[in-house]
Amino acid sequence: MHDLTPEDMEKLPRHVAIIMDGNGRWARSRGKPRLFGHRNGVENVRAIVNTAFEIGIPYLTLYAFSSENQNRPAEEKSGLMRLLEEFLTRELKNMMGDDVRLRAIGDLNGLPEFAQKAVTQTIEQTKSNKSWNLTLALNYGSRQEILQAVQSFARRTNGRDEDLEWETFSSYLQTKDLPDPDLIIRTSGEFRLSNFLLVQAAYAEIFVSPLNWPDFGQDAFVEALKDYTHRERRFGKTGEQLATASTKSFPGNL
């Protein structure tokens, strides 16, 4: 299935977030309408989700529809929402069988009623599943999420001056039940986060693939994971500090 070594498997990210970009360009290069690209992109979602969970990554977040995507033509938006409904309806049985819990972040009220219903019903039906976690970012924008968190905190404190730490503030974010992403993958060769998990990604490793999303298959996904296993995550420390801490924590040197 993959060529990850035992050493790679020990260093895999716990949470991978993907900016699925390039469906429209993929379709255009084939002389097809944009929705043709989106449909093929949805088919690739199934492959990547299955691969992630088979390899052993417990949290996967997919940037499916941004708040800025609301500016797209009505026909494209409607087609995307129908594809979302179709995907959730089709995959519910597999989610239940594989013990996958679905979550969603973003303003679901901005989605058509039929899409809201499909999302909320799937969330409800999978809420007791525990083995794997799939989160869809729908009508999501990180800046909007941060503003909402600030407003919620202000209402709770009623305007009182109160010291605020990240652990407290992060509990007001829509991702409060998720660990921060370890790895963010972006397809189509674009080097930007596009208003996605801006504060949660503070220490995430970033991998950019030149492939458009429908072409980003299992082999490309595994390549991104292998690249991640060779990164040194410092979290503000020097390499020497990390090496010293690792040596001190090794039982043979105690």
Q: Which of 137, 130, 42 is nearest to 91 (CA)?
A: 42
Cβ neighbours of residue 14 closer than 8 Å, sequence gap 6 or more: 57, 58, 59, 179, 182
| C-alpha dihedral sign at 57, 176, 95, 223 | negative
Quote the CA–CA distance of 115 and 79 in Å, as a whole number. 11
User: Torsions phi, psi of 50, nearest 5?
Assistant: -60, -40
- Active site (catalytic) residues: 21, 69
Cα gap 61→204, rounded to integer Å: 13
Tell me the two tokens of residue 237.
């420390």
Q: What is the Cα–Cα distance from 63 to 58, expressed in whole angstroms?
A: 17
Strands 59-66 and 205-208, by their bridges, are unpaired
Residues facing 231 on adjacent strands: none
CB of 207 closer than 8 Å to CB of 227: yes
**CB-based contact 24:34 (threshold 8 Å):** yes
> In whole angstroms, what is the distance from residue 247 CA to residue 253 CA?
7
Matching residue, tokens 């980003």: 216
